[in-house]
Amino acid sequence: MSLQRPSGRRADQLRPISFTPDIAPHAKGSVLVSFGQTRVICAATVEEDVPRWMKMQKVGGGWVTAEYSMLPYSTLDRKARDISRGRLDGRSSEIQRLIGRALRAVVDLKKLGSRTIWVDCDVLQADGGTRTASITGGCVALAIALNRLMGEGKLRDFPLQQLVGAISTGVYEGEAVLDLDYPEDKAATVDFNVVMTEKLEFVEVQGSGEEAVFTGAQMGSMLDLATQGISELFTLQKAAILEADRPDGPALADLAAAFSK
């Protein structure tokens, strides 16, 4: 008997993915990314300065960092804001560090110049995969921001070397599946989050059994699914980046040309 996913999707099928650019007008680059019912606003803002530790250690170039938060109404039960507890919770801290690592993996920080780009990821609705949606949407917001810095003459060379994307996989009802929504994530015996570059190189793999174990064959199946899914995401990311116009004229006709500079 074939696997019956709660959503009716095939084991290798992504949820409907969409990107709505320029959702935050005051950000240099922004996008509303939707992975099914998971929705995240990713916004990139530019600060013409670098962190103090870079100055102290005389590190050249710029910096890319991220912040992640779940809005109180993003889940079925209200989630208290971190500020109300006086500290960032452990999960949010871990996720925003992951987003920052993923984005820095594909940025030439020397080409960025002496500036910091903040990528804020705010979850509007959570239905599984908020960290993978944040990385995928965060890359789009960052690319749009860099395009605009180029258009303003503030960058000589395009710092983004390639795209980065992320997707979840897991073992549900004994079978490897792609892009888990909340009902699947809750019931999965194995949960993986995979981050890859456009060259299909791994940035990070987070995986664990949930009171269960998994075989090498199952892990291979999950990684194969992740590679397939992330490859599909890159096509959608490029379309979203090209949809956002630069201030000096039409959107880039060929994103690959910008990456090669």
Read off the pLDDT of each residue in 63-69 and give the average, rounded to a whole number.
96
**128 has binding-site annotation:** no
**101 has binding-site annotation:** no
Backbone angles phi, psi at 44, to 5 degrees: -110, 125
**131 has binding-site annotation:** yes
- Return the pLDDT at 84: 65
For the chain, the first-to-last Cα distance in angstroms comes to 51
Tens-place pLDDT, residues 209-261: 988 999 999 999 999 999 999 999 999 999 999 888 654 444 444 454 554 44
- Return the pLDDT at 86: 65
- Please say whether the beta carbons of 190 and 210 come within 8 A: yes
> Using H for helix, E for strand and C for coil, what is the string for the chain?
CCCCCCCCCCCCCCCCEEEEECCCCCCCEEEEEEECCEEEEEEEEEECCCCHHHHHCCCCCCEEEEEEEECCCCCCCCCCCHHHHCCCCHHHHHHHHHHHHHHHCCECHHHHCCCEEEEEEEEEECCCCHHHHHHHHHHHHHHHHHHHHHHCCCCCCCCECCCEEEEEEEEECCEEEECCCHHHHHHCCEEEEEEEECCCCEEEEEEEECCCCCCHHHHHHHHHHHHHHHHHHHHHHHHHHHHCCECCECCCCCHHHHHCC
Q: Computed from CA positions of residues 104, 105, 108, 110, in that sequence, does the dihedral angle turn out positive or negative?
A: positive
- Return the pLDDT at 211: 84
Structure-derived torsion over alpha carbons of residues 41, 44, 47, 48, reported in degrees to the nearest 10: -170
Query: Where are the domains positioned within the chain?
Result: 17-79+86-246
Read off the pLDDT of each residue in 20-39 and give the average, rounded to a whole number.
96
- Please say whether the beta carbons of 240 and 140 come within 8 A: yes
- Structure tokens belonging to residue 239: 């379309």
- Structure tokens belonging to residue 131: 């960290």
- Return the pLDDT at 246: 54
Strand order in the sheet with 116-125: 17-21, 29-35, 38-47, 116-125, 63-70
**235 has binding-site annotation:** no
Tens-place pLDDT, residues 110-141: 999 999 999 999 999 999 999 999 999 999 99
- The residue that leads in pLDDT, 12 or 90, is 12
Nearest partner of 131 among 203, 187, 220, 70, judged by Cα: 70
Nearest partner of 66 among 45, 97, 90, 89, judged by Cα: 97
Q: In CATH, which superfamily holds the domain spanning 17-79+86-246? A: GHMP Kinase, N-terminal domain (3.30.230.70)
Tens-place pLDDT, residues 161-218: 999 999 999 999 999 999 999 999 999 999 999 999 999 999 999 999 988 999 999 9
Question: What is the pTM (predicted TM-score) of this model?
Answer: 0.91
CB contact set of 96 (below 8 Å; sequence gap of 6+) = 66, 67, 68, 121
